[in-house]
Amino acid sequence: MAGVQTAVALREQGFTGSVTLIGAEPHQPYDRPPLSKAVLLGKAEGSAFDVDFEALGVELRLGEEITGLRPADHELDAVRGPIGYDTLVVATGAEPVRLPGAEGVPGVHLLRTLDDAERLRPVLAEQHAVVVVGAGWIGAEFTTAARDAGCRVTVVEAAEGPLAGALPAEVAAPMARWYADAGAELRTHARVQGVEPGVVVLDDGTRLPAGAVVVGIGARPATRWLAGSGIETGPDGAVVADAFLRTSAPDVYAVGDCASFPSARYGRRLLVHHWDNALQGPRTVASHIVGAEPTAYDPVPYFWSEQFGRFVQYAGDHSGADRTVWRGDPDGPAWSVCWLREGALVGLLAVGRPRDLAQGRKLIESGAALDAELVADPAVPLKSAKV
């Protein structure tokens, strides 16, 4: 997404030079969200972007593995030979974290690429018993698809509940019930000791039968190929970009899942592994490249997930909030959680309440102060809670 959108934005903003889009995968550039839904269930053959690259004058170099970068020479090292550039945009995304000790074990799967989704299709079609490692966003989405396909699913999560790294425990707690309602078993405080063919072994000795194992324990920026380049990366592995998404090397930008950026809105550096970031950031990069007067990149982070028959949306960043306000009954089909800091909305989780999300996102952008009592009334539109 980030690479494609950068190429498109460059042309939309009047860039007339040559644009080359390089990717290690052999497939036409594709969108990732459908992989855990329609593509996985066999309802779609792929999710290629509807972009006419030829008409845009964008050269695609697919199946091209890049092994290194030499900024002083303005060259990329590639398996097929060096590639020169005037300006480089690094948009290599993120790669899934692998389960230690599971390398090479038959039946262990990741779900990040089109090839991953295609390998998992027969698992669902044949209704294997599946063990999902990790109750994060991807684990929940895969569990949803697997249950829809009729698979028996056991989810093992090392933390006390689902989405432990993303949401406070009290907010994620209602979501734990969604697994049981869907007929999936969720085991928390469960650590994987090892994986054998057909079996997942937990650290308490429990042996879970597994026709397939799907690992969803997080992702890290795909930046290891930059080792030795001199480009600054942070302890999280992300390329350290500035407010205009420039890296520490001249003429090199970084955008999407592989880069962190400073947020004046939240007073800290953000690393956002979500689709909307890969859609929005390229516009800033393109503006800077074409010499326009760019504004600093400081979005309200946004993402969504479809799981267990629910549409879950999140906007903002709740980490600096000093008050949490619930809207609606978390045991019901639709509810929201609002996080306030000094009276202003800074983050919002909406389950089946898209209007809350749409209005809340604008309120976060504006920084308007809200009346917490009105926020807590689900019958009051959020925009009407402004002081």
Q: Which domain holds residue 202?
A: 108-215
The CATH number covering residue 361 comes to: 3.30.390.30
Q: What integer pLDDT is reported at residue 250 of this predicted model?
A: 97
Instruction: Encode pLDDT of 300-350 as tens digits.
Output: 999 999 999 999 999 999 998 999 999 999 999 999 999 999 999 999 999
Tell me the three state secondary structure of residue 130. strand
Do residues 30 and 82 share a domain? yes
Same domain, 91 and 223: yes
| 372 and 313 fall within a common domain | yes
Specify if 301 maps to a domain: no
pTM check: above 0.85: yes
| pLDDT over 90 at 103, yes or no | no
Question: Quick one: pLDDT at residue 293?
Answer: 82
**266 falls within a domain:** yes
Residue at 274 is within a domain? yes
Under a CB-based contact definition with an 8 Å cutoff, are residues 350 and 360 in contact? yes
Report the greatest alpha carbon distance in the chain: 63
157 phi and psi, to 5 degrees? -135, 125
Q: Are residues 190 and 55 in the same domain?
A: no
Q: Which two tokens stand for residue 24?
A: 């290690």
> Domain check: are 17 and 75 in the same one?
yes
- Is the dihedral angle over the CA atoms 110, 115, 119, 121 positive or is it negative? positive
- Cα atoms in the Cβ-side hemisphere of radius 13 Å centred on 371: 10
- Residue 90: what pLDDT? 98
| pLDDT single digits (tens) 133-174 | 999 999 999 999 999 999 999 999 999 999 998 999 999 999
Which of residues 188, 215, 242 is at a domain's end?
A: 215
Pair type for strands 219-221 and 212-215: unpaired
Q: Is residue 133 part of a domain?
A: yes
Mean pLDDT along residues 235-239:
97
H or E segment and range at residue 175: helix 169-181
| Amino acid residing at 42 | G
Residue 292: strand pairing partners: none
pLDDT score of 44 more than 90: no
Q: 203 and 117 in one domain?
A: yes
Domain's final residue, options 215, 241, 258:
215
Out of 289, 324, 350, pick the residue that ends a domain. 289
Same domain for 76 and 223, yes or no, is yes
* Backbone dihedral angles phi then psi of residue 93, each to the nearest 5 degrees: 70, -150
The answer to whether the beta carbons of residues 71 and 226 sit under 8 Å apart is no
Domain assignment of residue 298, yes or no: no
Q: Give the model's confidence band at 37: pLDDT under 50 very low, under 70 low, under 90 confident, else very high.
A: confident
pLDDT (0 to 100) of residue 356: 98
Number of folded domains that form the chain: 3
Tell me the residue type at 58.
Answer: V
The pLDDT of residue 21 is 98
C-alpha 218: how far from its chain's center? 9
Instruction: State the CATH number of the domain containing residue 158.
Output: 3.50.50.60
Q: Which residue's structure tokens are 């078993």?
A: 185
Give the Å distances, CA to CA, from 371 to 270, 318, 359, 362, 381: 28, 18, 15, 16, 12
